[in-house]
Amino acid sequence: MKRHAAHCVIAITLLGLPSVAAAAGALRANFSADTSQTLQGIPVSFRVKLVNDESDPVNIPQNSILIATNGRGETFVVLSAGSAIAYSFTGAALLGGKAQRVYDIATNGTFLKPGVFLDGRLYDAGVYHLQLLLTDAHVSPGTPIDDIARDAIKSNTIVLTVIEPHGIDAEVWQQMRRLTGGIWHPMKALTPAGEEFAKMVVARYPDSSYAGWFATFGLGRSIEARAELLREWLEDHAANSTVSDRRKLLLATWDGLLADTFELTDPQKSQQHAIQARAELHAVATESNDATIRAQAKRQLEEMADEPISSSAPPQ
């Protein structure tokens, strides 16, 4: 039986399309982060709750732009892989009257999500004030912020403090920067040297705050090798947190893919990965404190079984 694994990317990118069905003031964007502080180089997850205060439906703007102000008072558009658009959807998304919708802009436990954390200006230690602007306007990296904000729907402002690491975290951070020529950037680590570096961090500094990110990042390793590296790290370092739950979801996704991969060539190995995937998904579906993550795990579990499964049922 063919299993259909969910995408490895757990982050749900933001937003829908033209905001004209009701007045712009009818739509509110409540912006939040899963933590108020993080270490240099480590991304955080965001959540946006859109609220339509009017009785008539409203279209959701196509683009969302993240604006940051650092401790020096410098305000800039945070770039996502070089684009000024932080998150967007294509195709209309209508929000009904007196309705609300929540979007998770989440890290999947790697250094690559959310994409705005590829902007190295967020790696400097300090305090950042972040705000999301929702707009249908065409926005490029050079578009003045005042032009973007003029007709945009503005979220509330949140504060994120980026902390300079200490102890073993400081040792790892310095080595991360050396690996990428003095300025850390995750994409520069996607090399054979980066793969060896990741293995070294997980083996030599397993208790570092960065180790779990490298174990999940996987770098250039095969899916099978990445799954085993993450599985070994989670056995001793899994915590009751949303980041840990997303890592378990990613591991379950990899196990599901491996079950499909070996279905014809190695049925025994295929079955082993399928059993592991179900056990991992069941644990997340019943134990995670995050409703969105629990729902995702349950969906993946049902897809593997090809029939609805109660979240209280034991893994098969």
CATH code for position 145: 2.60.40.10
pLDDT confidence of residue 315: 43
Helix (H, G, I), strand (E, B) or coil at 83: strand
Q: What's the one-letter identity of residue 297?
A: A
Task: Write out pLDDT tens, residues 209-225.
Answer: 999 998 888 665 688 98
- The answer to whether residue 73 is domain-embedded is yes
Burial of 297 (0-12, 13-18, 19+ CB in 10 A): buried
d(CA 206, CA 148): 44
pLDDT tens digits, one per residue of 237-276:
877 788 889 899 999 999 999 999 999 999 999 999 999 9
User: What are the residue ranges of helices labelled H in the chain?
Assistant: 145-150, 168-179, 192-204, 211-217, 223-237, 242-261, 267-287, 291-305
Per-residue pLDDT at 316: 44
- Burial (Cβ within 10 Å: 0-12, 13-18, ≥19) of residue 241: middle
The low-confidence residues of the chain, meaning pLDDT below 70, are 1-25, 89-92, 218-221, 306-316
CA distances from 90 to 4, 46, 62, 165 (A): 24, 20, 7, 39
**Which residue segment(s) compose the domain that 270 sits in?**
168-305
Q: What is the CA radius of gyration of the chain?
A: 21
Structural domains counted in the chain: 2
Domain containing residue 211: CATH number: 1.25.40
CA pseudo-torsion sign 10, 11, 16, 22: positive
The average confidence (pLDDT) of the chain is: 85
127 and 228 inside one domain: no
Same domain, 216 and 251: yes
* Rounded distance between C-alpha atoms, residue 247 and residue 297, angstroms: 12
- Same domain, residue pair 152 and 250: no
State the angle between helix axes of 168-179 and 192-204 in degrees (0 to 180), rounded to the nearest 10: 170
The predicted model scores a pTM of 0.80
